[in-house]
């Protein structure tokens, strides 16, 4: 182990030398494109502003009045049908569409297109009563009545059969309707409940047989020799407990099982779309990161997604944008916000906030924003949720704000929006690492190991790029082409399966650069710790091994490129260097061991950061590499202001509640305001501007 503290000049020189060598490998430059380059996208060159609308809450007179409000506001798209299965099928096999025909017809007459959401969730009460296999059973064996949304066992074959029939009937009914523009599947699927019925257990056994083949392979994967839990026969398998207790290997497989069940249900509906409305895109409001269950979206989305879509309820710009880009993946298509922040539960709204977030959405490649929701709910689970129209039917000021967004977006359609650009940087995300790094139960040493959560580390890696106004993709490295990126960051990825390791190895060997952080590559695809040098499967690629992990008594300090940075997380790994070279050492640990190393592998570079993925450390490291890797930094903006260049114009968004001054060169004209700015752009709180 080398413990010499590197001088700042050596660090900067080493980084520049390594990066300059890398550039000779000829990685292609990313090029800016617009939606016009993709004629296969429906709504070519258009932006869509509208709302989510549930006509089941409204009388015919109210519907007529509501649509008039939408038209006056300039809305051109609505999402309907979600959460309404028993309005279409009030009893088994008895369908009623006349009421919805009228709404569709009136939308078409007013020039408003419709996303028809297949309402497979929640299932009707009659289905639960007639087919009790659809009822959720807790891990303690208690059958639950469907008391709230998403309390159905989506693995039940009767549920799946009836959901397919509903989708088939709906899409055939409206296949040629002039209002139909897109379809969505099962609102917020992924946020359902795990079920532990006897039938679920049998389905899990069948799933395990298909995955492992033999009981011996399962025993090995689950390490059943530990604590005398060896299985002699498939019939001895029980469903692992989602709420604990239980070892992480089984917990991971439980989530894989429910992930596969969820994806199978989505693919059921996608098969119906392909059969009945193949020219209509699938744009579904999915929830892959839901805490109850979730599913492996980035490992499967290209099978059932035309556009990435989500419900957009932002907290901070970095976290909100990370979530949005996770549904985009590496699709060459914009994002649709099928639900978009307007008011909220117990929260009426803040003037200007939705408009600001709409422009953050444009930065995140958005094409569509649909306010959740149009009318405020008078009953049910969301009766204190405030929409665009108040509980008494009076349009609120939010209608005017969304009308302003719609008017401005119509102007932007001819100015390069929705924007498109091939990102130069990708951040790795692994559903399996998210599950395996946070198993339930007080006895889990994995939870004790992770002092900074996996999701936090992914966001920590994303933060510096978003703050520097650099476009970034969020991908699963085993399921995305890596060769189009100049840099891939793998932050805290606990599970390193064979496919992911092979993809990373091949990408670096062919000339790519990867930064991997501590906590990564500790366990295999079964969540078993590697019995080979760590980082498992990639130790030779990074040219090092590490077995000792510590938590410092004080925040870690590292000098990179002549600048000292302090960490948030005190976890660090003691690196033993094989072929890797040190770029920076920890300044205040007993070992003074390498904090950052670099290794030439094939034509590329493998860089290792021996602590958690966090903005302070990754930011300092990547900023020292931008120029040499040919990564173009975006416009320089003050904290809380984000910007992108689109067709030669620059969009600025102030996400804060304070006025901000942005330095600009020369005199520019604000396209949104009509103002002239000389040397300084002054943005009001939540202010936006597009400079010509």
The 10s digit of each residue's pLDDT in 105-116 is 999 999 999 999
First to last CA, the chain: 55
Q: What digits encode the pLDDT tens for the residues 558-567?
A: 998 888 999 9
Domain holding 322: CATH number? 3.20.20.80
Same domain, 506 and 622: yes
**pLDDT above 50 (res 122):** yes
Final residue before a domain boundary, out of 362, 383, 418? 418
**pLDDT above 70 (res 585):** yes
Same domain, 72 and 166: yes
Domain holding 667: CATH number? 2.60.40.1180
315-339 b/e with 16+ CB inside 10 Å = b? Answer: eebbbbbbbbbbbbbbbebbbbbbb
Categorize the per-residue pLDDT at 385 as very low, low, confident or very high, splitting at 50, 70 and 90.
confident
Mean of the per-residue pLDDT values of the chain: 92
Whether 275 is in a domain gets the answer no
Same domain, 476 and 592: yes
Whole-model pTM? 0.93
**Helices H, strands E: what count in the chain?**
19, 25
Structural domain count, the chain: 3
Same domain, 659 and 677: yes
Same domain, 591 and 680: no
pLDDT on residue 383:
87
Whether 609 is in a domain gets the answer yes
pLDDT on residue 441:
77
Percent of the chain with pLDDT over 90: 88
If you count them, how many residues does the chain have?
A: 692
pLDDT on residue 384:
87
pLDDT on residue 458:
98
Whether 525 is in a domain gets the answer yes
Is the separation of the CB atoms in 252 and 435 below 8 Å? yes
Kind plus residue range of the DSSP H or E element containing 470: none
Same domain, 290 and 411: yes
Same domain, 439 and 524: yes
Whether 37 is in a domain gets the answer no
From residue 412, alpha-carbon distances to 42, 506, 642, 682 in Å are 17, 41, 18, 21
Residue 371 or 12, more confident: 371
Kind plus residue range of the DSSP H or E element containing 607: strand 604-609
Same domain, 598 and 493: yes
Q: Where are the alpha helices (DSSP H) in 42-156?
A: 60-73, 85-88, 98-109, 125-130
Whether 489 is in a domain gets the answer yes
Final residue before a domain boundary, out of 365, 392, 418? 418
**pLDDT above 60 (res 279):** yes
In whole angstroms, give the CA distance from residue 251 to residue 242: 7
Whether 296 is in a domain gets the answer yes
What does the pLDDT average to over 200-204? 98
What does the pLDDT average to over 286-305? 97
pLDDT on residue 32:
31
Same domain, 655 and 593: no
In whole angstroms, give the CA distance from residue 585 to residue 435: 32
In whole angstroms, give the CA distance from residue 345 to residue 347: 5
pLDDT on residue 6:
29
What does the pLDDT average to over 216-226? 97
- 3-state DSSP of 376-410: CCCCHHHCCECCCECCCCCECHHHHHHHHHHHHHH
Same domain, 563 and 465: yes
**pLDDT above 60 (res 2):** no
CB atoms within 10 A of CB 172: 13
Coil, strand or helix at 313: coil
Which has the minimum average pLDDT: 211-220, 372-381, 453-462? 372-381
Q: Which domain holds residue 347?
A: 43-191+280-418
Whether 524 is in a domain gets the answer yes
pLDDT on residue 40:
56
pLDDT on residue 448:
81
**pLDDT above 50 (res 5):** no
Is the separation of the CB atoms in 62 and 393 below 8 Å? yes
Residue 550 or 20, more confident: 550
**pLDDT above 70 (res 42):** no
Same domain, 318 and 460: no
In whole angstroms, give the CA distance from residue 330 to residue 284: 17
What does the pLDDT average to over 194-204? 98
Same domain, 91 and 18: no
Q: Provide the CA 68 distance to its chain's centre, in angstroms.
A: 35
In whole angstroms, give the CA distance from residue 468 to residue 623: 9
Coil, strand or helix at 131: coil
Q: Provide the CA 56 distance to its chain's centre, in angstroms.
A: 31
In whole angstroms, give the CA distance from residue 483 to residue 481: 6
């Amino acid at each position: 182990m080398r413990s010499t503290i590197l001088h700042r000049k050596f660090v900067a020189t080493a980084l520049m030398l390594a990066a300059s060598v890398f550039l000779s490998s000829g990685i292609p430059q990313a090029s800016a494109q617009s939606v016009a380059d993709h004629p296969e996208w429906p709504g070519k060159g258009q932006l869509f502003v509208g709302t989510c609308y549930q006509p089941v809450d409204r009388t015919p007179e109210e519907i007529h009045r509501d649509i008039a409000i939408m038209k006056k506001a300039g809305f051109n798209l609505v999402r309907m049908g979600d959460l309404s299965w028993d309005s279409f099928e009030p009893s088994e096999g008895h369908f009623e569409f006349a009421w919805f025909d009228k709404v569709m017809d009136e939308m078409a007459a007013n020039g408003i297109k419709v996303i028809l959401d297949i309402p497979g969730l929640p299932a009707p009460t009659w289905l639960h009563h007639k087919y009790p296999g659809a009822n959720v059973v807790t891990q303690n064996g208690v059958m639950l009545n469907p008391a709230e949304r998403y309390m159905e066992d989506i693995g039940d074959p009767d549920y799946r059969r009836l959901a397919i029939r509903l989708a088939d009937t709906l899409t055939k009914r409206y296949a040629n309707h002039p209002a139909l523009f897109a379809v969505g599947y099962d609102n917020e699927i992924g946020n359902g409940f795990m079920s532990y019925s006897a039938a679920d257990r049998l389905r899990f056994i069948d799933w395990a047989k298909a995955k492992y083949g033999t009981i011996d392979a399962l025993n090995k994967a689950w390490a059943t020799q530990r604590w005398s839990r060896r299985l002699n026969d498939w019939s001895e398998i029980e469903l692992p407990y989602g709420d604990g207790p239980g070892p992480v290997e089984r917990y991971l497989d439980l989530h894989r099982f429910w992930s596969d069940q969820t994806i199978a249900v989505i693919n059921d509906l996608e098969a119906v779309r392909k059969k009945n409305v193949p020219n209509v895109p699938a744009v579904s409001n999915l929830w892959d990161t839901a805490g109850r269950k979730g599913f492996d979206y980035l490992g499967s989305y290209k099978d059932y997604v035309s556009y990435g879509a989500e419900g957009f309820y932002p907290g901070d710009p970095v976290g909100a944008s990370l979530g949005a880009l996770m549904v985009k993946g590496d699709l060459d298509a914009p994002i649709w916000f099928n639900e978009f922040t307007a008011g909220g539960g117990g929260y009426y709204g803040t003037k200007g906030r939705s408009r600001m977030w709409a422009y953050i959405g444009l930065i995140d490649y958005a094409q569509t924003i649909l306010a959740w929701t149009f009318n405020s709910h008078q009953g049910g689970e969301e009766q204190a949720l405030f929409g665009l129209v108040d509980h008494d039917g009076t349009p609120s000021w939010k209608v005017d704000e969304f009308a302003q967004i719609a008017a401005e977006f119509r102007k932007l359609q001819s100015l390069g929006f929705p924007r498109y650009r091939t990102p130069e940087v990708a951040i790795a995300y692994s559903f399996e690492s998210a599950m395996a790094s946070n198993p339930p139960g007080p006895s889990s040493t994995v939870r004790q190991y992770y002092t900074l959560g996996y999701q936090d580390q992914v966001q920590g890696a994303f933060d510096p790029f978003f703050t520097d106004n650099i476009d970034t993709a969020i991908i699963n490295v085993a399921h995305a082409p890596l060769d189009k990126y100049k840099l891939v960051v793998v932050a805290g990825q606990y599970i390193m399966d064979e496919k992911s390791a092979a993809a990373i190895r091949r990408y670096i060997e062919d000339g790519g650069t990867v930064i991997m952080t501590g906590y990564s590559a500790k366990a295999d695809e079964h969540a078993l710790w590697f019995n080979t040098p760590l980082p498992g499967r990639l130790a030779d690629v990074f040219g090092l091994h590490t077995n000792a992990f510590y938590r410092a008594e004080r925040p870690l300090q590292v000098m990179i490129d002549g600048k000292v940075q302090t960490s948030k997380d005190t976890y660090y790994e003691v690196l033993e260097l094989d072929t890797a070279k040190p770029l920076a050492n920890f300044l205040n640990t007993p070992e003074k061991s390498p904090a950052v190393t670099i290794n030439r592998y094939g034509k590329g570079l493998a860089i290792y950061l021996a602590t958690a993925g966090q903005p302070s450390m990754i930011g300092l490291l990547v900023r020292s590499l931008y120029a040499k890797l040919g990564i173009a930094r975006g416009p320089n903006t003050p904290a809380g202001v984000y910007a992108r260049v689109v067709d030669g114009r620059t969009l600025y968004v102030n996400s804060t509640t304070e006025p901000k001054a942005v330095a600009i060169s020369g005199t520019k004209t604000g396209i949104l305001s009509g103002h002239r700015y000389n040397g300084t752009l002054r943005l009001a709180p939540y202010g936006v501007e597009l400079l010509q």
